[in-house]
Amino acid sequence: MTNKMKILITTGIYPPKIGGPAQYAKNLKEAFEKTGHTVNVKTYGLEDNLPTGIRHLFFFFKIIPSLISAEAIFILDTFSVGLPTILACKIFGKKGIIRTGGDFLWEQYVERTKKKILLRNFYQTEISNFSFKERLTFKLTKWTLKNTSKIIFSTGWQRNIFIKAYKLRNENTCIVENYYGPKQSDNNFESKAFVASARNLVWKNFDILRRIFSKIPEANLFTENLPYTSFMDKMDKSYAVILVSLGDISPNMILDAIRMNKPFICTKEVGIYDRIKDAGIFVDPLNEKEIEEAVLDLLTEDGYKKAKEKVRNFNFTHTWEQIAQEFIEVYRTI
């Protein structure tokens, strides 16, 4: 094996599409290329407009030439591109490594049922209530995870959930933490805006946030999705960041807030709690009163000063170069 390899990355979204997973794929690609690897990225295009199943089949055929010539194959989700990529790996005798993102099945289930089920409880309480499509997705995801050469999680929290739910072997899993960049800003706010930008989905808890902020005229809630550079500029000028979802693995918005030294309110149902517990304010996403009290306290001069000091004191870093190297080390173990 040579030191420089041909790497294939498969990902559901990639810039110019907006979102944390798109930025992750872009930065991982660039980090690999900085050390001399040749990287090919395959992502959804036309597939976005195709029905489930057909889009998987279309993507399967699209990636075959790149997959055959690749030495290392990194897959950045468990179902949308995970299923077709692992199927192609099995057929062509390749070893694929999955890096999990969120939980597609849980997200879809909560959106369908409108039930506010915490991610950590989902597989313990809801499997018997799955629709036919959800049962099929669960089985196919289980097959995908059991047939990958290695599974990379960004947190032990999600790894424990998945090991129990999908009956995975612990030795077939590992952890590569998300990107924690150096501090890049520490500007004062220009308005009392709380940034909560995300997709408008049930599990993001926007209904609670909107009710809370409708009662607080001195502050406003910003939920618009922007291109990454515009989003970071908006955050830089904002008062704080707020994320109260029913479960988030390693939320990029919170990690961005830390780099910008922005005080933040975050759900307790988060995979990186142990890493960032001293940097922010944490709330029960099902407790509306607790969330409202956290917002009101942060709007006080003393509350804001304390929150600002906490986020300023967080200085852990984990670079894209380190992440890329850890991915390569995982590849060399299979």
- Domain chopping of the chain, boundaries: 6-179+319-331, 193-312
Angle formed by the axes of helices 82-92 and 132-147, to 10°? 40
Q: What residue spans of the chain are helical by DSSP H? A: 20-34, 54-69, 82-92, 104-113, 119-125, 132-147, 156-166, 206-214, 228-237, 252-259, 273-276, 288-298, 301-312, 320-331
Cα–Cα dist 151/157, whole Å: 14
Tens-place pLDDT, residues 132-185:
999 999 999 999 999 999 999 999 999 999 999 999 999 999 999 999 999 999
Q: Which amino acid is at 150?
A: K
Q: Which residue has the tokens 């047939």?
A: 147
Q: Mean pLDDT across the stretch 67-90? A: 97
Tens-place pLDDT, residues 296-334:
999 999 999 999 999 999 999 999 999 999 999 999 999
Please compute Rg for the chain using Cα positions: 20
Domains 6-179+319-331 and 193-312 share a fold: yes
Cα–Cα dist 100/84, whole Å: 15
247 and 103 Cβ atoms separated by less than 8 Å: yes
Task: State the pLDDT at residue 242.
Answer: 98
Going edge to edge, which strands form the sheet with 173-175?
38-43, 6-11, 72-75, 96-99, 150-153, 173-175
* Residue 157 DSSP label: H
Q: Which amino acid is at 37?
A: H
Considering the chain, what percentage of its residues have pLDDT values greater than 90?
95
Task: State the pLDDT at residue 281.
Answer: 98
- The sign of the dihedral angle between the CA atoms of 324, 326, 330, 331 is positive
pLDDT tier at 20 (50, 70, 90 boundaries)?
A: confident
pLDDT at 254 over 70: yes
pLDDT at 230 over 70: yes
pLDDT tier at 19 (50, 70, 90 boundaries)?
A: confident
Maximum distance among all Cα pairs of the chain, rounded to whole angstroms: 62
Tens-place pLDDT, residues 30-62:
999 999 999 999 999 999 999 989 999 999 999
168 and 162 Cβ atoms separated by less than 8 Å: yes
pLDDT at 93 over 60: yes
Residues paired with 283 in a beta bridge: 267
Cα–Cα dist 109/94, whole Å: 32
Mean pLDDT, the chain, whole residue set: 96
Specify the pairing of strand 220-222 against strand 264-267.
Answer: unpaired
Task: State the pLDDT at residue 72.
Answer: 97
pLDDT at 2 over 80: no
pLDDT at 1 over 50: no
CATH of 193-312, one of 1.10.3210.10, 3.40.50.300, 1.10.3720.10, 3.40.50.2000: 3.40.50.2000
Q: Mean pLDDT across the stretch 247-272? A: 97
Residues paired with 97 in a beta bridge: 74, 150
Residues paired with 267 in a beta bridge: 283
pLDDT tier at 228 (50, 70, 90 boundaries)?
A: confident
Q: Mean pLDDT across the stretch 119-124? A: 97
Considering the chain, what percentage of its residues have pLDDT values greater than 70?
99
Cα–Cα dist 171/203, whole Å: 31
CATH fold of 6-179+319-331: Rossmann fold (3.40.50)
Task: State the pLDDT at residue 29.
Answer: 98
